[in-house]
């Protein structure tokens, strides 16, 4: 069974990406679904690569559960609906692999080997192939065979333990699949590295991208500080992370939310002056003093913020050169002055989405 399709109504898959992009001519075959692999290949597409995406007859699960997400991640890719359990489906997949520079797969470890599409087999026929395996816990290890989603990877990396409120349980996350996206970005950088080294060696590599490992790597700064401070328990770690005076989200008089981040001494002094904060009875001379009084300081900031509307507060704090930003809804992003000025948004038909965010200038 095979059915070829294009997705979205943006750049058709049959049309080559814009000339001048750095990865024009690169051919990628994508066996992944949901978020991590498709986000990686979306980025590669945005950089000029041609993407052939293989989907099982039941299709990518995101198509039924999150159709808008599916369209954003897969716009402009050539979609091949193949039954890899049949000889014809496998034969067609093998043809696609033969012309590819990069293969991306997101199955559980062992599945591609059973299909005859594992790295060991393909590398013999296509030694230059960069083979990217994205999984929750890696190709090997005690967790490699168990199922998982973003929440589980956050839990395994220690990051979930630092989410939420100090006196509450760990939160459910931040509203976006942080692990899936971070894993895809690590996969992107590693893929580009492998392609760079292939120029000298002529050989590809097998990239074992564990989403949990990527999240854990991102915890290095926190781990280092907790060790230096002698923090031992999760409670102590949460206290260290959440003890941030003049750093938080505060509700304004008109029901909006304002983020203020004034940890450094100069920002702190400007915040006190701009909000005309009453600090009587509090020792705030140093950051250490302010940390010991975090709750009361933030309570007084909250009281000051509650008395004013978000527009006047933002203008006042910006004029004082304080790090401040109104909390935006995701649906406001496309119309924000920042997004408009930076030209961040493009579209797939009636679905707007953000282009690859790094501006790659012309050659000197």
Q: List, by residue number, the catalytic residues.
A: 180
Distance CA 25, CA 49 (A): 6
Backbone angles phi, psi at 216, to 5 degrees: -65, -40
Within the chain, how many helices (H) and strands (E) appear?
A: 16, 12
Tell which residue, 217, 202, 185, 207, has the closest CA to residue 105: 207
Cα angle value 307/311/316 (rounded, 5°):
80
C-alpha separations of 136 from 73, 170, 209 in Å: 19, 20, 8
Closest CA to 136 of 115, 153, 123, 121: 153
In angstroms, the CA 70 to CA 38 distance is 9
Contact status, residue 136 vs residue 109, Cβ threshold 8 Å:
no
Residue 258 neighbours by CB distance under 10 Å: 20
The burial class, CB within 10 Å (0-12 / 13-18 / 19+), for 112 is buried
What are the phi and psi torsion angles at 201 (to 5°)?
Answer: -100, -25
Strand partners, 132: 104, 207
Report the alpha-carbon distance of residue 261 to residue 334 in Å, rounded: 24
């Amino acid at each position: 069974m095979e059915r070829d399709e294009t997705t979205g109504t943006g750049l058709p898959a049959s049309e080559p990406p814009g000339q001048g992009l750095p990865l024009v001519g690169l051919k990628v075959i994508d066996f992944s679904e949901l978020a991590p692999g498709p986000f990686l290949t979306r980025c590669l597409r945005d950089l000029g690569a041609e993407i052939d995406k293989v989907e099982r007859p039941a299709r990518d699960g995101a198509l039924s559960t999150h159709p808008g997400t599916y369209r954003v991640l897969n716009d402009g890719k050539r979609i091949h609906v193949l039954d890899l359990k049949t000889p014809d489906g496998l034969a067609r997949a093998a043809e696609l692999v033969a012309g590819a520079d990069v293969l991306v797969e997101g199955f559980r470890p062992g599945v591609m080997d059973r299909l005859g599409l594992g790295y060991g087999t393909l590398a013999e026929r296509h030694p230059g192939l960069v083979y990217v395996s994205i999984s929750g816990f890696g190709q090997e290890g005690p967790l490699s065979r168990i199922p998982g989603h973003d929440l589980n990877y956050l839990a395994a990396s220690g990051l979930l333990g630092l989410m939420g409120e100090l006196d509450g349980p760990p939160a459910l996350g931040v509203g976006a699949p942080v692990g899936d996206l971070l894993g895809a970005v690590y996969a992107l950088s590693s893929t580009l590295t492998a392609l760079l080294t292939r120029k000298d060696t002529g050989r590809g590599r097998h990239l074992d991208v564990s989403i949990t490992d990527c999240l854990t790597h991102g915890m290095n700064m926190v781990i280092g500080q907790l060790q230096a401070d002698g923090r031992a328990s999760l409670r102590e770690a949460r206290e260290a992370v959440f003890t941030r005076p003049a750093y938080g989200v505060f509700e304004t008089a008109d029901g909006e939310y304002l983020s203020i981040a004034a940890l450094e001494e100069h920002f702190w002094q400007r915040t006190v002056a701009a909000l005309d904060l009453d600090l009587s009875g509090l020792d705030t001379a140093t950051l250490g003093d302010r940390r010991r009084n975090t709750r009361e300081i933030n309570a007084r900031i909250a009281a000051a913020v509650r008395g004013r509307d978000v527009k006047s507060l933002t203008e006042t704090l910006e004029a004082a050169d304080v790090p401040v930003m109104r909390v935006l809804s995701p649906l406001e992003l496309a119309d924000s002055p920042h997004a408009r000025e930076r030209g961040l948004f493009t579209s797939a038909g009636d679905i707007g989405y953000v282009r690859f965010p790094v501006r790659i200038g012309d050659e000197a």
